[in-house]
Amino acid sequence: MRNTARWAMTLGLTATAVCGPLTGAALATPGQAPTALYAPSALVLTVGHGESAAAATPERAVTLTCAPTPSGTHPVARSACAELRGVGGDIHALTARDGVMCTKQYDPVVVTVDGVWQGQRVSYERTFSNECVKNAYGSGVFAF
C-alpha cells in the first residue's frame, strides 16, 4: 500500500511538472473571462472561381493571425491585419479603393473567411464579379 501511494504521488508531481498546474484555461467554464493576454484573432481565407463557396473549388487558402503580432501564410499579413483593425474586424465594411478601373467581364470569384476575430467567431462569403473587382476591395486582406 505504501508503494502505491508513493507511485501515485510521483505520477501526480510528474504530470504537474510536464503539463503545468491545473489552473487558468484548463479549469475555465463557459462564460468565464479568458485568461490570455490577447483575445484570439486567427482566420482562414480561401478563394476560388464560381458563384458560391459551395459550388467553387478553393484554389488558394491562407491563414492570418493578427494577435499578438501579424503572422500566418498570408503574403501581406501586416497590412491585412492593419486593414481589419481599421474596420473593427467587420469584413463586410471593407470597401473598394478609389480609382480602380475593372472590366465588366463576368468571371465570378468567391472569397470565404472563417475563424475568430478578437475572440468572436467570424464567417464571411462574398462573390465578386471578377478577379479585378476582388482585388479592388481592400489593399491587403484579399491579396493572396
DSSP codes joined into one string, 59-127: -EEEEEE-SSS-BSS-TTHHHHHHHHHHTTT-GGG--BPTT---------EEEEEEEEETTEEEEEEEE
Report residues of the chain scoring pLDDT below 50. Answer: 1-28
Give pLDDT, residue 32: 56
- The hierarchical CATH code for the domain 37-136 is 3.30.350.10
Give pLDDT, residue 16: 36
Give pLDDT, residue 131: 93
**pTM recorded for the entire structure:** 0.71
Strand, helix or coil for residue 11: helix
**Annotated domain spans of the chain:** 37-136
Give pLDDT, residue 96: 86
